[in-house]
Structure 1
Amino acid sequence: MVKLLKAFMFAAMVTMAVGLSSCATSSHQAKLAPGEFEWHPERSSSGPVLMVVSIDDQMAYVYRNGVQIARSTVSTGRAGKETPTGVFTILERKVDHESNIYKGAKMPYMQRLTWTGIAMHAGQLPGYPASGGCIRLPYAFSEKVYGVLSNGSTVAITQKGTVPSYSKKPASVLLASRAQSPSNKAIPDPQGKVMWEPGRSRSGPYSVLLSYADKTAYVWRNGIKIGQSPVAIMPGANPPEGVFMKLEGGTGAQSWSVLSLNSGKVFGDPASAIANNVTLPREFRNKVSGVLTPGTILLATRESSNSNTMSKTNFGIVQPEAKQP
């Protein structure tokens, strides 16, 4: 499965009206006591589900097709056992699970985020970070969220709480090729081999990593790499980082959510800024256009992905494909 980047939070919106409503709701909600949660699945009945965990706030938020349907208090990792930040997909789920690290420790409604011991599960919530790295949830909430998530669902863990924002045309990042040089001439398509082997993984969610450091785009399905392509970046350009997620419905390819990196706020139109400074080969754009289904994640980052799919020890980009022992 795919583990994408550090210190993100998705902003999942379907329309500007929904986006503004969600912003107001997220930033002015009443404080919950440890162990409390809210659950309103009727606000959005279908679409891809995103769960966001804020370590500083000790809170989790659940969005379905861009609409917040739940929030809950949590307890994350204590000092020395901190919960890693990043964008993860759920690797494994068990209603009744016992910790492989802390023998005898019960982890009801366990949803695994890494093969190295990080998961979400029911547990005690003292009101501060107290776990061994996992995300503890109220028991009733863990049962409910287990019912709306599945293997491959996205969980974003960020240090700071952020407010959802909105961008209209993130699909243009992959499908457009309009980068212009300072002399107003289009940058040529990058030279290099395009790898496309969809037969390596025929089911599960798609994720796309656009690495400016590597000047490469990678496509995974269900955590297995199925595509790779060189990219060209306008000389002197500094395209923004961002995370995008395709939603269900809306106006065709424009129904996407957007997350600005680092600041927690989206300024301008990061998708257009990327598309105006980055070019992908036509062959790759044609192939990837067919995989942009609801739930697809696109991450644009300045970080590099090495042969072990990690850029540094505390900054995961993509988790290795094989299940770890």
Structure 2
Amino acid sequence: MSNPTALTRRTLLAASGGAALALLAGPLAGQHVYKEVHELKPNEFTWHPERQPTGPVAVIVSLTDQRVHVYRNGVRIAVSTCSTGKSGHETPTGVFVVLQKDRNHRSSTYNNAPMPNMNRLTWDGIALHAGNLPGYPASHGCVRLPLKFSALLFEVTHLGTPVIIADEHHFPVDVVHPGMVLASYAEHEFEDVVSTLEGRKHPADWALDDAYPVTTMLASSHDRKIVIIENDVEVASGALEWDGDPLGAHVYVLEGAHEGAKGMHWQALTYGTSQSAEMQDLKRVRTDKAFAQQIRQYIHPGMIYIMTDLPLHPDSRSQRDFVIMS
């Protein structure tokens, strides 16, 4: 992993292209500092990938704090200041995935403006990218980042990386489900279950059309339905069974099998208004045996599982876009 202090002017230009030139003057490139999160000033960030060198990455953007938190395998490895959408151009809240990555992107909407190290979140213009951070929301909806930080973040995200944009920030919680996904199994069956994960690529190796595509499972209490989406296509659906209480607003990232507990290991994030014990109990959501068996053919480390009490709106997806839970 690159050392942020070793990112020279030449390195940054190579990472972000000539479009970054205008951003390199003065403090706009960003500064790696050793501070508490609440003490960070505009264009400052922390970066400590050594705290967790491997595993799926998740990004949480806090609109209230104007901070971006980066987690890998549930461990926070970085925090940066940011600038989100100004009044009239508010950054949408909800669950997104990285749809496209482009080091040298330029805006097709705003006068060919440079957007170095762009991680696209929607096809209508919302993205993470380098830009000016005045210390308050000032963008047209995107999440602006310090240039140095955006270059580092670009190296650890992949197509399908979940990005949660919310008013509040909640720390991820490790959750181990005693069964597979939405089903249970006997302990002696564990090896058979784990074998379904073998040979599937680590998220860092994914391309959008790989054999193991970006896979998301959505469970909606409103629709009483579970759907599985691969890239932009709904490939399977089944009935949702649960305890009847609100599901809440939670995102889970599958990290893999947990040998000790004979179950699946998830990283749980909340994007609603409060974090509660309910997010740690995956047993409250179930489906029928036939659909649970069908799910097994789609799961892989890095798979995203979302619970919501909102309806699922297929018309909110365009091309390879993702359902936005706002």
Q: Same fold (TM over 0.5)?
A: yes
Structure 2 residues without counterparts, runs of 5 or longer: 1-35, 186-208
Confirm or deny that 1:263 pairs with 2:299. Answer: no
Confirm or deny that 1:40 pairs with 2:48. Answer: yes
8 Å CA contact 1:211–1:303 kept in 2: the answer is: yes
Q: Which residue of 2 aligns with 1:107?
A: 115
Do the aligned partners of residues 112 and 269 (structure 1) sit closer, same or farther apart at CA in structure 2, a change above 3 Å counting?
A: closer
CA distance in 2, matches of 1:118, 1:153: 15
Higher RCO (CA 8 Å, separation ≥ 6 residues): 1
User: What's the TM-score once normalised by structure 2's chain length?
Assistant: 0.73
Do the aligned partners of residues 143 and 217 (structure 1) sit closer, same or farther apart at CA in structure 2, a change above 3 Å counting?
A: same
User: Which structure 2 residues correspond to residues 135-146 of structure 1 after superposition, within 5 A?
Assistant: 135-146=143-154
8 Å CA contact 1:239–1:274 kept in 2: the answer is: no
Could you say which structure has the higher strand fraction? 2
Q: Which residue of 1 aligns with 2:70?
A: 62
Confirm or deny that 1:274 pairs with 2:284. Answer: yes
* Equivalent position to 1:220, from 211, 223, 229: 229
Do the aligned partners of residues 226 and 202 (structure 1) sit closer, same or farther apart at CA in structure 2, a change above 3 Å counting?
A: farther
CA distance in 1, matches of 2:273, 2:73: 23
In the TM superposition, what whole-angstrom CA distance separates every residue of 1:125-175 from its partner, at most 9, and x where no partner exists?
111100010010000000011011122211111112223334332866612
8 Å CA contact 1:259–1:266 kept in 2: the answer is: no
* Equivalent position to 2:79, from 64, 71, 74: 71
SS at match of 1:42: helix
Alignment length (residue pairs):
261
Superposition deviation, residue 261 in structure 1: 4.8
In the TM superposition, what whole-angstrom CA distance separates every residue of 1:40-65 from its partner, at most 9, and x where no partner exists?
11111111111111111100011111
8 Å CA contact 1:95–1:109 kept in 2: the answer is: yes
8 Å CA contact 1:223–1:321 kept in 2: the answer is: yes
User: Which structure 2 residues correspond to residues 161-200 of structure 1 after superposition, within 5 A?
Assistant: 161-169=169-177, 174-176=182-184
CA distance in 1, matches of 2:291, 2:94: 27
User: Which structure 2 residues correspond to residues 145-160 of structure 1 after superposition, within 5 A?
Assistant: 145-160=153-168
SS at match of 1:259: strand
Q: What value does the CA root-mean-square deviation take over the aligned residues?
A: 2.5
Confirm or deny that 1:291 pairs with 2:298. Answer: yes
Q: Counterpart of 2:312 in structure 1: which amino acid? A: S
Do the aligned partners of residues 69 and 306 (structure 1) sit closer, same or farther apart at CA in structure 2, a change above 3 Å counting?
A: closer
In the TM superposition, what whole-angstrom CA distance separates every residue of 1:191-243 from its partner, at most 9, and x where no partner exists?
xxxxxxxxx98432211001111111100112321111123455xx2242232
Identical aligned residues as a percent:
34
CA distance in 2, matches of 1:250, 1:39: 28
CA distance in 1, matches of 2:146, 2:245: 43
Could you say which structure has the higher helix fraction? 2
Structure 1 residues without counterparts, runs of 5 or longer: 1-27, 178-199, 311-318
SS at match of 1:174: coil
8 Å CA contact 1:203–1:222 kept in 2: the answer is: no
Q: Which residue of 2 aligns with 1:320?
A: 318
Q: Which residue of 1 aligns with 2:22?
A: none
Q: Which residue of 1 aligns with 2:192?
A: none
